[in-house]
């Protein structure tokens, strides 16, 4: 019995001390208590044990015992103290639950942050690789553009040197930058942008926009718009379109010596002119207009080449050199011409 009374006295004293402490707590101290519970370093078990002031004695029985022993005089004060303790316990539980939820949210956000950082690093690496590939492709594009420009320049240089393009199918087509065209099928057609036309089938027709006409059937007639007419039956022939003049009764054009050739080239300066030489009878056998065979030629390097099997008349092109400047050309091309006559 005495042992029980000592235990009750000890509980009443502890309860009185706790009641006195709780009665002194204000709003700021409750806030400090909440911050203490939200701190992860605080041992919530010891905090709960400290806040838990319940005893194994029933509160009413403890109060009655304390009243009998003089520990607590006011039963209302004891009830208030117990009610405050209950609210603090509930507050502590709520705060601990919130703290745990915040910790869970924090851990989830940390995982998401790490994943985003990994994705960001991967995107940076992909971006850098794409930039490297772009630079490499751009460098290749620039090199191809340089090569294209170089080849185009070479093409233009060759085009300017050749002056024409040859296209072949069942016949052939020669196209020149100034508009000169040769088309061959069963016959051939020469068309130039200034209106000059040569058409051949069984005979041939030469038509020019100024009215010049050559027509051939059994013989041939040269007609010009100013009334000039040359007919074969008269005994001599003038063929201007072929680049030479044949006057049967008087003479013909012949180039006999190097000095004579140089003289003609100097006289004609940079003009191209027909010299009265052709291989229209037999390909490769060059003859003058008087029928004599060529004994010495002054050809350019690589000439005569009978390009497209259409070059049968010789021209002199003195802009390159006073000698060795002959070139074979189609006989229908417009060129200057020379005529030799005997003085005595």
Alpha carbons within 13 angstroms on the beta-carbon side of residue 210 total 5
Distance CA 46, CA 44 (A): 6
Pairing of strands 244-247, 251-252: antiparallel
Distance CA 32, CA 29 (A): 5
For 108, residues 6+ apart whose C-beta sits below 8 A from its C-beta are: none
For the stretch 178-225, pLDDT in tens is 555 555 554 555 555 455 555 554 444 555 444 445 554 444 454 544
What does the pLDDT read at residue 114? 96
What does the pLDDT read at residue 265? 53
Distance CA 84, CA 105 (A): 31
Contact 72, 60 (CB under 8 A): no
* pTM value surpassing 0.85: no
Q: Which of 62, 54, 82 is nearest to 4 (CA)?
A: 62
Q: Which residues of the chain have pLDDT under 50?
A: 1-5, 7-8, 10-12, 14-15, 18-19, 21-30, 37, 42-63, 65-67, 69-70, 72, 165, 170, 177, 186, 193, 201-204, 208-212, 216-220, 222, 224-256, 260, 344
Helix (H) or strand (E) holding 216: strand 213-216
Distance CA 242, CA 336 (A): 10
What does the pLDDT read at residue 113? 96
């Amino acid at each position: 019995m005495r042992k029980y009374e000592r235990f009750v006295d000890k509980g009443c004293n502890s309860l009185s001390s706790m009641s006195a402490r709780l009665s002194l707590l204000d709003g700021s101290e409750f806030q400090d208590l909440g911050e203490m519970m939200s701190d992860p370093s605080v041992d919530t078990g010891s905090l709960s044990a400290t806040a838990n002031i319940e005893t194994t004695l029933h509160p009413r029985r403890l109060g009655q015992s304390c009243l009998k022993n003089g520990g607590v005089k006011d039963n209302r004060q004891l009830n208030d103290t117990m009610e405050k303790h209950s609210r603090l316990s509930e507050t502590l539980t709520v705060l601990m639950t919130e703290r745990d939820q915040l910790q869970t949210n924090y851990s989830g956000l940390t995982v998401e942050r790490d994943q985003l950082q990994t994705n960001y690093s991967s995107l940076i690496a992909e971006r850098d690789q794409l930039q490297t590939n772009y630079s490499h492709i751009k460098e290749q594009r620039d090199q191809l553009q340089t090569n294209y420009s170089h080849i185009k320049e070479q093409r233009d240089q060759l085009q300017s040197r050749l002056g024409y393009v040859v296209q072949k199918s069942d016949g052939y087509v020669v196209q020149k930058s100034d508009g000169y065209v040769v088309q061959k099928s069963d016959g051939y057609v020469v068309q130039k942008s200034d209106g000059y036309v040569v058409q051949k089938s069984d005979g041939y027709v030469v038509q020019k926009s100024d009215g010049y006409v050559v027509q051939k059937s059994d013989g041939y007639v040269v007609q010009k718009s100013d009334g000039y007419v040359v007919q074969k039956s008269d005994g001599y022939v003038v063929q201007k379109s072929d680049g030479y003049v044949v006057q049967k009764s008087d003479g013909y054009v012949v180039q006999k010596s190097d000095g004579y050739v140089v003289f003609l080239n100097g006289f004609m300066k940079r003009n191209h002119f027909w010299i009265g030489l052709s291989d229209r009878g037999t390909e490769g056998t060059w003859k003058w207009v008087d029928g004599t065979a060529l004994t010495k030629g002054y050809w350019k390097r690589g000439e005569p080449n009978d390009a497209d099997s259409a070059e049968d008349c010789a021209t002199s092109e003195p802009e390159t050199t006073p000698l060795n400047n002959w070139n074979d050309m189609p006989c229908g091309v417009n060129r200057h011409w020379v005529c030799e006559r005997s003085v005595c």
